[in-house]
């Protein structure tokens, strides 16, 4: 029973109740109150709310498409993916000077966004325009304008954060063969359908995707979707992730009591409505660790498949100067 209590933070309710029933030799129906009390033990509560080290998944190519980040045991953890240890080490060495306490530090004041570049996602543009212009006022970007390959190349090399909100991964504007020749400094968000999925190329060639070319170009992290999602669902997750990850702007009115409360999911009730973003309309709880902000964004949409599609590939990322001091440095490594 002692070990069951110690492990209660890692068990689902039905697992805990079955364990109690086996230990006390009583019917499962009589274990509800006991299991509930075990889950409220101090150690269990501490484990559930503790700051977590990032979990870096190295997955077999045959298992890549599964949303491992949504497993119950990983849902409260910051999780990212890398294809192998060699790529992880290469990214670490490429950005060693900007890594502190095991995380790549990024200056969030420099960013660029490309929204609806093919002019066929008007609702996407209508929803994201008020958010990006008010939440990231120092950033540059375009709405409804197709970038040239030179512009796309310049953005990847000269900005710290890049957001692409259009169809696919943006390869129609700059091919992977060209991207891999660059030195990409930007933490890259590709909020298009199947933007970070791996595709079977046939024969004995391993599955690959656009994210491979970004990593070859030393891109510290690529965030995108493993499969197709609706633009409304993608926009909700975009807003929720960036709103809580980016630092507070001067014109944000924050209630300190509200900030300490749990985040409120921002569901899209009407995909045609532009009111996805309302300044000061959502609770804001700053999460400088990008993987943790992504984990929280899973509550931003009521459709499981839309939330599960989001995946991060590369190094753990944090806003510069805001590395979590609650996590010991010695177990994370340092640059």
311, β-bridge pairs? 224
* Tens-place pLDDT, residues 94-127: 999 999 988 999 999 999 999 999 999 999 999 8
Q: What angle do CA 120, 123, 127 make, to 5 degrees?
A: 130
Sheet holding 161-165, edge to edge: 55-58, 79-82, 310-314, 221-225, 187-190, 161-165, 111-115, 140-143
Q: Which residues contact 217 (CB under 8 A, 6 or more apart)?
A: 156, 179, 180, 181, 182, 183, 184
Specify whether 134 is located in the same domain as 268: yes
Q: How far is Cα 290 from Cα 222, in angstroms, rounded to an integer? A: 11
Q: Do 76 and 27 share a domain, yes or no? A: no
The answer to whether residue 327 is domain-embedded is no
- Residue at which a domain ends, from 49, 64, 86: 49
Tokens of 199: 């595709």
In this predicted structure, what is the pLDDT of residue 254? 53
- What value does the mean pLDDT take over residues 77-99? 95
Q: Let me know how many helices (H) and strands (E) the chain has, helices first.
A: 13, 11
Longest dimension (CA), the chain: 70
Tell me, yes or no, if 23 is annotated catalytic.
Answer: no
- E-strand stretches of 172-288: 187-190, 221-225
Find the CATH number of the domain harbouring 77. Answer: 3.40.50
- Judge whether 335 and 320 are in contact, CB under 8 Å: no
Phi and psi angles of residue 80, each rounded to the nearest 5 degrees, phi first: -140, 170
User: Do 24 and 148 fall within a single domain?
Assistant: no
What's the pLDDT tens digit per position in 265-319? 443 444 444 445 554 445 567 889 999 999 888 876 778 898 999 999 999 999 9
Q: Which helix (H) or strand (E) holds 104?
A: strand 103-106
| Predicted TM-score (pTM) of this structure | 0.81
Whether the per-residue pLDDT at 25 is higher than 60: the answer is yes
Residues 9 and 115 in one domain: no
* Domain final residue pick, 12, 32, 49: 49
7 and 141 share one domain: no
User: What number of CA atoms fall less than 13 Å from residue 329's CA on the CB side?
Assistant: 7
* Catalytic, out of 80, 193, 219, 266: 193
Token code pair at residue 308: 């599960």
User: How many domains would you assign to the chain?
Assistant: 2
């Amino acid at each position: 029973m002692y070990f069951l209590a110690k492990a209660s933070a890692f068990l689902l309710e039905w697992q805990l109740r079955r364990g109690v029933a086996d230990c006390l030799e009583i019917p499962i129906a009589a274990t509800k109150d006991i299991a509930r009390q075990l889950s409220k033990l101090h150690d269990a509560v501490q484990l559930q709310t503790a700051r977590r080290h990032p979990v870096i998944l190295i997955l077999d190519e045959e298992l890549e498409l599964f949303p491992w980040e949504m497993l119950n045991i990983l849902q409260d953890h910051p999780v990212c993916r890398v294809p192998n240890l060699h790529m992880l080490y290469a990214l670490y060495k490429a950005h060693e000077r900007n890594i502190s306490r095991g995380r790549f530090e990024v200056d969030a004041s420099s960013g660029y966004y490309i929204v609806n570049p093919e002019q066929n996602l008007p609702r996407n543009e209508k929803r994201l325009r008020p958010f990006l212009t008010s939440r990231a006022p120092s950033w540059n970007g375009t709405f409804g304008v197709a970038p040239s390959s030179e512009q796309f190349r310049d953005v990847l090399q000269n900005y710290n954060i890049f957001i692409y909100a259009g169809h696919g991964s943006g390869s129609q504007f700059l091919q992977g063969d060209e991207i891999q020749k660059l030195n990409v400094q930007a933490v890259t968000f590709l909020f298009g359908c199947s933007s970070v999925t791996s595709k079977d190329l046939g024969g004995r060639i391993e599955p690959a995707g656009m994210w491979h070319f970004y990593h070859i170009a030393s891109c510290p992290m690529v965030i995108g979707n493993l499969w197709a999602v609706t633009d409304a669902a993608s926009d909700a997750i975009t807003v929720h992730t960036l709103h809580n990850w980016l630092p507070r702007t001067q014109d944000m009115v924050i209630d300190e009591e509200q900030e300490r409360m749990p985040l409120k999911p921002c569901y899209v009730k009407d995909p045609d409505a532009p009111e996805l973003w309302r300044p000061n309309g959502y609770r804001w709880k700053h999460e400088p660790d990008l993987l943790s902000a992504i984990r929280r964004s899973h509550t931003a949409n009521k459709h499981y498949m839309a939330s599960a599609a989001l995946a991060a590939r590369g190094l753990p990322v944090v806003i510069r100067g805001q590395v979590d001091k609650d996590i010991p440095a010695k177990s994370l490594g340092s640059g």
